[in-house]
Structure 1
Amino acid sequence: MGVLEKLLGKAGPGTVDPGTYTDTDPRRSAVIRQATALLLGYPDRQLLTMLPTLRAALEEVAAPVEEIEELLDWFTARPLEQVQADYVQEFDLSRRHSLHLTYWTDGDTRRRGEALAAFKEIYRSHGAEPGESELPDYLPLVLEFAAKVSPEDGYELLQRYRPSLELLRLALRDDHLPHRGAVALVCSTLPGVSPEDRDAVMRMAGYGPPTESVGLDPYDPRLLPVSRRSTP
């Protein structure tokens, strides 16, 4: 079994309807999305052992591996416990780098619940029941769905929330976090060139995170999965 099959768990991405899905290289997109799903998730020892496979798979589909070189070093330059603590600080306790796509478009508003319900409906239409540990708009979950379950609907979700991806990429870039390279790789699987700044993203989208709050607080550390608060 080659590195691509090890990564995707099959010979290629899910079934593609050529009449509705226009990706010229779905295999490359699937590999990038699955690799970045892992790279943007909570780091554990299993991920560290997979880093060489991820690099090899990306190289095999001619993805720009240089985009994630800094991130690969970030995972291995320090003890895992410190890497995990930094991840929780940047992605779970800070709104600046939210990995939840609807946060960037709907903030903590009532209509965010409708957007999350739409994600669940799409997953369930493919027999994929989202778990309870993450909200259904969690970027690594969306990427894995697009890589392994439905390239068409996964692509549609990513394209619909392209402004969220770009705002996340810019926030990571501005704060000098190496995960920006993984998000840039995700954006490279979508049509068009990434905007250079936030104003350009806002012009593209026509909206930003609303301010109306209904008391949602996904960054409360008491709500984190146990694995994110325990020592490996």
Structure 2
Amino acid sequence: MSPLRTRIRPAAGRAARPSREETAQRALVLRLLSLLLQYPDAELAGERTALAAAVNALPPSPAADELAAFTTWFTAQPADALESHYVEIFDLRRKSSLYLTYYLHGDTRRRGMALLTLAQTYRAAGWSADSGELPDHLPVVLEFAALAGPRAGEAPLRRHRRGLELIHHALSDVKSPYAGLLTALLSLLPPASDAELAAVAKLAAEGPPAEDVGLDPYSGAGFAPPGTFVPPAPARPTLMPPLTGPTDSEPRR
């Protein structure tokens, strides 16, 4: 892997269009985040050394620092401890669930439509996720962002900024090393407005909306009715090209 030398600049405050190399580096960070936020099964655990090497080759940036701190912890843990920790913080805690539409719509009919809209966004870009996960699963959203480019690809991340903030707060509260990955991701997005931060505080206090309906057209896709929770089956890591950064920002076809 060739070292990447150009500094990754945060999205906020860019005065000029990013260069091709900057876009490729940004995509690489997003791809690494997508992989590291997936369930650490045997396949992913077996790639920990390669992932750490890719992180260490990144140029200096706040996101790179957070990724380096996380992979130091990630590579040092026993595989079974990683799996247990992941299930505990992501599958058994609704406040840190990785399914982003839940934070905007809760268990309501609107959530089903939001999932369908997101899937249609992927198809319109010529991209099809093959991980077996719902389209709002954060690693899937991150992979799309990496492959489709900063403008259209990162739009779903910007749209779900409140949910990302809440996940970050929840992970920080339990002192999970995964909080650093959300810190890295948020550093790439425009700063949250006062209104967004107020909405996050309200969401943390009151929770997302709920109603006694299914999630058609995604009913039966791993979520329980309001008041109960059934952890979704862990998805296999998404297979990606070698971690050398894309040559352009076009989505996979």
User: One fold, TM greater than 0.5?
Assistant: yes
Distance 1:226 1:141, change over 3 A: closer
The SS at the match of 2:180 is helix
Could you tell me how far apart the structure 1 residues matched to 2:164 and 2:26 are?
16
Q: Could you state the TM-score of these two structures normalised by the residue count of structure 1?
A: 0.75
Higher helix share: 1
CA contact (8 A) 1:167 1:198 kept: no
The SS at the match of 1:151 is coil
Percentage identity across paired residues of the two chains: 39
Question: Displacement, 1:104?
Answer: 0.9
Question: 1:90 is aligned with what amino acid?
Answer: I
Greater mean deviation of Cα atoms: 73-82 or 24-33: 24-33
Greater mean deviation of Cα atoms: 48-57 or 107-116: 48-57
Could you tell me how far apart the structure 1 residues matched to 2:154 and 2:212 are?
29
Distance 1:22 1:72, change over 3 A: same
Could you tell me how far apart the structure 2 residues matched to 1:141 and 1:226 are?
11
- Aligned match of 1:220: 230
Q: Count the aligned residue pairs.
A: 207
Structure 1: state its 5+ residue gaps. Answer: 5-20
The SS at the match of 1:122 is helix
- Aligned match of 2:26: 29
Question: 1:48 is aligned with what amino acid?
Answer: R
- Aligned match of 1:68: 67
Could you tell me how far apart the structure 2 residues matched to 1:224 and 1:203 are?
30
Q: Could you state the TM-score of these two structures normalised by the residue count of structure 2?
A: 0.70
- Aligned match of 1:18: none
Question: Displacement, 1:213?
Answer: 4.2
RCO higher in structure (CA 8 A, sep ≥6) = 2
Question: Displacement, 1:208?
Answer: 5.5
Question: Displacement, 1:192?
Answer: 1.8
CA contact (8 A) 2:131 2:236 kept: no
Question: Displacement, 1:45?
Answer: 2.3
Question: 1:2 is aligned with what amino acid?
Answer: S
- Aligned match of 2:11: none
Within 5 A, what are the aligned runs for 1:56-205? 56-58=56-58, 60=59, 62-131=61-130, 133-193=132-192, 199=198, 201-202=200-201
CA contact (8 A) 2:224 2:230 kept: yes
Distance 1:114 1:123, change over 3 A: same
Distance 1:89 1:31, change over 3 A: same
Please, which of 39, 44, 47 is the counterpart of residue 42 of structure 1? 39
CA contact (8 A) 2:131 2:235 kept: no
Question: 1:189 is aligned with what amino acid?
Answer: L
Question: Displacement, 1:198?
Answer: 6.1
CA contact (8 A) 2:133 2:235 kept: no
Question: 2:2 is aligned with what amino acid?
Answer: G
Deviations 1:154-178 (A, max 9, x none): 2211111111111111111111111
Question: Displacement, 1:65?
Answer: 3.2
Could you tell me how far apart the structure 1 residues matched to 2:36 and 2:131 are?
21
